[in-house]
Structure formats: C-alpha cells, structure tokens
Structure 1
C-alpha cells in the first residue's frame, strides 16, 4: 500500500526551497501520494510559539544564515542569502499553488511550488507580484486561468483549511512532512521521510 505524505509548506521559506526537489524525488521513487498543502505561517507561528524572522533574537538570525549557506553548499543548490524580495508575502503564491493543484493536479502543483521557491531564493523575483506569478505559470506551460482561480473563495477556503489542519496537527514550521500521521519537520529530516515512505 502506497504511503500518503501531507506536505505542509510555505512558498517563501528557504528551508522548503532547499528540500523541495529532494522531497519530490523521494515521493516519486516510493510511489507515494502527496497532498500539497501550503499554509499561512503568520497564523501558525503565534499558536506554536514561532516568531517571524525579524522578531527573532540576533544570534538566531545570524546562525540561520550560517545554516542556509552550509546546506546550500552541501546540496549544491544556489541560494541567495539576502534576496531582493524577502521578507515577502506568501499568500498570493500559496493560493496559486492551490489553484494549480485544483486545475492541473499534484505534479503540476509540485512543479509550480519549485518554480516559486526558486524565484525567491535564486532569481531575485517578487512572488507577491501577479506578473511574476503569471510568468511562472507560462514558463511551465500551465493554464493562465489559474491566476483568476487563485483569487476565488474556493481557493481561499482551501488555504484556510490547510492552515487550520497544520495547526490541528501541531505543525509549527515549514517544511513539515506528515507520513501516515508521523511528523517530520525540516528538509534535514528527509532521510527519515525516505525511510518512512518505503516502510
């Protein structure tokens, strides 16, 4: 029986960026079913004790940069530690990912998620800008109608539901991978995710 992974992500998260393609490869190799679940960290953090980056202690902010550089180098993934458009609102991109999922399915949702993450952390692009998001859709041959769909109450309701599901499941950061009820937080836990989806 194939495993199901609930993939809780934030489209502006550098850790989600660092783990995204590896996670996609792991899930595909295991034949796992993925539920792509963008969440609003602005609602998750206050409940879970997390803080937005700018409110964290200076030593935590400094070490975050060390770790991002370290993982980028180890994974051979380019990462701009001080992207031009960050911090950035994640809601428009999160809702676009949901719209693509509803219109095209999981594989396309994973593709646009990767494109959004790379736009922030490699390409100096503003993922809160509608023109940027429309260009990402076009670049991956996805229906332009997903932009309009992303603005509908139906998509907003699903975004709210994913955020509430994250809170109810006691998720506290991105990325979080839930495999049949077992939580794995952070891209540095992907080896354990790989074992869990194979088990």
Structure 2
C-alpha cells in the first residue's frame, strides 16, 4: 500500500483549506496517510522561511488576499483574523499524536476539526475543553487530551527533525516515495501522481 506522509501544523490556515481532500484522494487510490504534526514556526527558522508576522508587507497582503480567495473558491467559512491566533498549537498536536497512538477514531476528521476550530469557529485550541471536543467529534476518547503528553512532545519534536531532514519547509506538505508536494493547492497533483499520470 502506498503511504502519504502528511506534515501539518495545527495552526496553519492552508491545512484548514485542504479540508479532507487528501483523505478522499488517499481512499480513491487505496493509499494510507501517515499524519505528522510538527512545529511550523521552528521549521521556518531552520529552512529559510519567515513567520507570517515578520514578512514584508507585500507578502502579508498577498497572503490575506489568497487565503480569502481560496476559502471562497472552496465554499468554506474563514476568519482572516481569528480571535485565538496565534496561540499555542502544541497541546492539540500532542492530543492528535495520542489519538494516533490509541486508534479508534478518524484522524482526518480530527485534524480538520482542529483546523476548523481555529479558522472558522473562534475557539482556542490551546484550551483543554476545545481539544476534547475535537477528539469527541472524531470518535476518540476525550481523555486523550490529558494523556501521553511526554510521548506527544517527543513525537512532535521528532516530526520536526524529520521534516527538516526530508526537505519540508511549509504546511501542508505531502511526501510520497521521493516526491514532495507543498500546499493545499497541490492535492490534485498528489491525485495525479497516485494515478500514475504525473
């Protein structure tokens, strides 16, 4: 079975805009998804990137225009300036890793619930109650939000190291075999690659 390594950041608006299209593409081709939450801000510093707030005004303005345009294109609700961004995305990442280790729910649905909570629902994913609600929505035990914190932190750190080693510099980022795809707008390319036409 082909595996897609999916590097994502819990606070990324572009991961939110990916919706669950990757999951649909994976299902279409019988591929599996290996979810890898990582610290995107730390990756920026190590791969030549710049956090959004520190970018030149032309890049900041374009990012805002593009985010709104992509949300409209997909018919997705989107708040350009959410009440709780930036916030600490690590607790949600740790809970995701605990859910990944525990099994029993839908990881794609969990990832999207976390993204949606930030970019469409004005909730703070650094809060335990918010993370627990996401876990419940995706069919996981909400107590996973409070378990495996050390293991979650270790995996989160290892995912960052792996991301840097494998040439990941943004999110969402997909790796299949030796092929790298960056951005929610490259999911069609992932589809074509898995179909053998790209």
Report the alpha carbon displacement of residue 150 of structure 1 after superposing the two structures with TM: 4.0
What are the equivalent positions in structure 2 for 1:44-59 lying under 5 Å apart?
Answer: 44-59=43-58
Quote the residue 1:156 is aligned against.
153
Quote the residue 1:96 is aligned against.
95
Quote the residue 1:194 is aligned against.
191
Contact 1:38 1:159 survives alignment (8 Å) = yes
- Matches of 1:141 and 1:193 in 2, distance apart? 27
- Matches of 2:27 and 2:87 in 1, distance apart? 30
Contact 1:39 1:162 survives alignment (8 Å) = yes
Contact 1:98 1:109 survives alignment (8 Å) = no
Query: Which range is displaced more, 88-97 or 183-192?
Result: 88-97
Query: Which range is displaced more, 80-89 or 168-177?
Result: 80-89
| TM-score, scaled relative to structure 2 | 0.94
- Matches of 1:85 and 1:59 in 2, distance apart? 24
Matched residue pairs, number?
196
Please give the secondary structure, in 1, of the residue aligned with 2:17.
helix
Report the alpha carbon displacement of residue 198 of structure 1 after superposing the two structures with TM: 2.3
Quote the residue 1:28 is aligned against.
27
Q: Does 1:178 align with 2:138?
A: no
Per-residue CA deviations over 1:149-180 (Å, capped at 9, x if unaligned) read 241x2222111111111010010000000011
Report the alpha carbon displacement of residue 144 of structure 1 after superposing the two structures with TM: 2.1
Report the alpha carbon displacement of residue 23 of structure 1 after superposing the two structures with TM: 1.1
Please give the secondary structure, in 1, of the residue aligned with 2:18.
helix
Per-residue CA deviations over 1:91-119 (Å, capped at 9, x if unaligned) read 111111111111116x6222211100010
- Matches of 2:169 and 2:79 in 1, distance apart? 24
- What is the aligned counterpart of 2:132 among 134, 144, 153? 134
Please give the secondary structure, in 1, of the residue aligned with 2:110.
helix
Q: Give the root-mean-square deviation of aligned CA atoms.
A: 1.3
- Matches of 1:160 and 1:168 in 2, distance apart? 13
Structure 1 ranges of 4+ moved more than 4 A: none
What are the equivalent positions in structure 2 for 1:93-132 lying under 5 Å apart?
Answer: 93-104=92-103, 108-132=106-130
In structure 2, the gaps of 5 or more residues are none
Contact 1:100 1:108 survives alignment (8 Å) = no
- Matches of 1:80 and 1:31 in 2, distance apart? 34
Q: Cα–Cα, structure 1 residues 76 and 90, in superposed 2: closer, same or farther, change >3 Å?
A: same
Contact 2:133 2:142 survives alignment (8 Å) = no
Report the alpha carbon displacement of residue 184 of structure 1 after superposing the two structures with TM: 0.2
Contact 2:16 2:119 survives alignment (8 Å) = yes
Contact 2:106 2:139 survives alignment (8 Å) = no
